[in-house]
Structures are given as C-alpha cells and as structure tokens.
Amino acid sequence: MSECSDVKISQQNASRPPPIALGINVEKPKFPQYAFVPKRLESYKEWPEYIPIDKADLVEAGLVYTGVGDSVRCYFCGGGLKNWERGDVPIEEHAKWYPKCPHILLVKGQAYVEKLGRGEKPDVEEVDNNKQASIDDKHHLKTAAVLSCIDMGFSEVMVKKAIKIFIENHGSNNFKGEDLCKILFDLEEGQDEAYFEEQLDECTPDDCEKIEPLETLLEENHKLKENQLCKICMDSRADVIFLPCGHMISCPQCAPALIKCPVCRQTVNGHIKAFFATTSMSSQKN
C-alpha cells in the first residue's frame, strides 16, 4: 500500500505547475547589490551620452551598465543586452529576449510577456510632440502612464483633466505616470475639501455637530493614500505580496532588494504580484 501511495504522490507532484507558472517568484537576484534602484542608477555614471536610450528606462527595466560600450545586464536574471537603437524600449527588449526573467514578470506580469510574444505592443509610450496636444487624442489614453493611473482607480475624466493640467504647466505632453498621479492626488484633495465644505454649508446646526472636522477627514484621506504607496521608495504603488508572511508593502522595483519583511522580520522566500479590481473594464479585458 505504501508503494502505491508513493507513486500517486509522485504523479501529483509531477503534474503540479512550478511556482513561476502561478505567478510566484521564489528565485533570488544574481546580482543582489543592484536590486535597489539607486544602485542601478549609479552604474550609469559613465553611460555614453550619444546612445539614444534613457538611463531611467534602463534602470526601470532592471538593467545595470557593465561599463563596456552600451552593454547592460539584468541584476536579476543576468541576461545581457547591447547594440541599442533609437526607438528601442528597454523593458520590452528585456522581455523579448528573456521572457522568464523574474524582474519582468514581477514588474509587468505574464500577460505583458505573452503580448510581446504575439508581436503586439503592450504599452504605447511615445507621443508625437510635433502635433498639437489634444486631450481627446486616443494615443494619450493608451500610454502606460495613463493606464497605470486608471488601474489605480482614477476615472478617464479625471486622468484627462490631469493631462490637460500637465500640458498647461509644462507646455509638453511628455508626461510620466508619477507626474499624473501627483496631479490626480492634488485634484482629489481639492475635490474632497470642496465637497466637505459644501456639506458643512448645507447641514443644519444639529447635523454639523455630528460631522467630523474637515482637517480630520482630509488627514484620514491622506493616510489612506499613503498606505497604498511603497514603503521603500514612497513613490510607486505597493502591489507585491511577500511570501510566506503575506504582507504587501513594496512595489515591484523595490521588493527584490528585501531579504526580510520590514513588518514582521520573516525571511522573504517568494513574491507574487497583486492585481487590484477597478471600475475600468478595459484593463480586465487586456
């Protein structure tokens, strides 16, 4: 009986998919000293200025400069890339050549890699600056910056308003996700303040006694937004779950650098990217 049960267990284990197939990363970076974004950026001090690739995009893609020509290597999978050309998108090139890289899967997800494999364009980053910027331009709503804001729960109307404000302030439509998020947070705080002031004006004396002070409500709203941010860089959204403890306090760019969970001090044995439900159906279809 024991022999037969052992066979069944081995067959079950054989048919069980590996962790990476389930979106769980249990691998460790090959060059952990470059897991922190600032350390990767430091490697580009001698980056040749004539190469038409932005250093920030290379860093975001998990790539470290080797100091030779335009050759770079991934801090996580160790894969190398070189011979960059104008128009190349580092994170796309990284995903094309090394589709199983944990950094790519953690930052972008399996669906992103599969789209590239089918020859599709997952992100539309570039905008023609020679054309008059238009808020109704469909290209704006397809950029990674806009999609990331929509994924965070902001409506298209609010995002369009943020784009308009950015263009008016900078005279350019070359915005990034963090630029729009800052404007959106300011817009939300302004709306919240106007809404609460309106409620205070309309309420009766008895009702006003029951309403919390405006400063308290705004402070709570600010804390809620802070709780969604990565506790390491305080810039991107925290959407990586540490295993086995289950705490979610870091973004994909910062998570691989942490050996222990800052909350419970347990050793981090794996990561899994969390996807939040939003009112936007377009992101779900993709």
pLDDT tens-digit readout, 210-223: 555 655 656 665 66
State yes or no: cis peptide before 252, omega within 30 of 0.
Answer: no
Both tokens of 217, joined, read: 């409500």
How far apart are alpha carbons 64 and 62 in whole angstroms? 7
Name residues whose C-beta falls within 8 Å of residue 20's C-beta, 6 or more positions apart in sequence.
26, 27, 100, 102, 105
Predicted local distance difference test score (pLDDT) of residue 51: 92
Share of the chain above pLDDT 70, in %: 67
Predicted local distance difference test score (pLDDT) of residue 132: 41
Q: Is the pLDDT confidence value at 23 over 80?
A: no
* 59-66 mean pLDDT: 95
End-to-end CA distance of the chain: 49
Q: Is the pLDDT confidence value at 191 over 70?
A: no
Higher-scoring residue by pLDDT: 3, 122: 122
Tell me how crowded residue 103 is: count the other CB atoms within 10 A of its CB.
28
Higher-scoring residue by pLDDT: 146, 40: 40
Q: Which of 89-93, 108-112, 210-214, 261-265 has the lowest mean pLDDT?
A: 210-214
Tell how strand 24-25 and strand 72-74 pair up: unpaired
Q: What is the DSSP-derived secondary structure letter of residue 134? A: -
* 196-210 mean pLDDT: 54
Which single residue is written with the structure tokens 């470290």?
64
Both tokens of 65, joined, read: 């400069």
Q: Which of 4-8, 11-15, 35-39, 229-233 has the lowest mean pLDDT?
A: 4-8
Strand partners, 270: 243
pLDDT-derived band at 74, boundaries 50, 70, 90 = very high
54, burial (CB in 10 Å: exposed 0-12, middle 13-18, buried 19+): exposed
pLDDT digits (tens, 9 = 90+) for 80-90: 999 999 999 99
The H-or-E segment that residue 74 falls in is strand 72-74
| Domains located in the chain, CATH noted | 19-117 (1.10.1170.10), 138-227 (1.10.8.10)
How far apart are alpha carbons 75 and 60 in whole angstroms? 11
Task: Report how far Cα 113 is from the mean position of its chain's Cα atoms.
Answer: 15
Q: What is the mean pLDDT of the chain?
A: 76
How far apart are alpha carbons 266 and 132 in whole angstroms? 53
How far apart are alpha carbons 203 and 32 in whole angstroms? 57
Is 106:25 a contact under the CB 8 Å cutoff? yes
Predicted local distance difference test score (pLDDT) of residue 45: 93
Predicted local distance difference test score (pLDDT) of residue 286: 45
pLDDT-derived band at 152, boundaries 50, 70, 90 = confident
Q: Is the pLDDT confidence value at 71 over 50?
A: yes
* 72-87 mean pLDDT: 95
